[in-house]
Amino acid sequence: MSEKPPPVVIHVANPDAFAGQGSVILLELADEATARKVARKIANETGRRVTVRDADLILIEAIPPAKIH
């Protein structure tokens, strides 16, 4: 029987949403390389800080918000 690999979690923070209460978007992906690629794209397109964590929520990578010109 094959087991699924533990998920890799992408967290997108938006501290300005909902009257300053903040909002969170979480995505779970099975592949770490894909998760990093998706996280970079989200940071670039949204201007938000994005973190990638393993199944135990240990930080893999933190991507700062993209600077919009």
- Give the closest residue to 66 by CA, choosing from 37, 42, 34, 36: 42
- Provide the whole-model pTM: 0.74
Q: pLDDT below 50 — which residues of the chain?
A: 69
pLDDT score, position 57? 86
pLDDT score, position 69? 47
- Give the closest residue to 36 by CA, choosing from 51, 49, 23, 24: 51
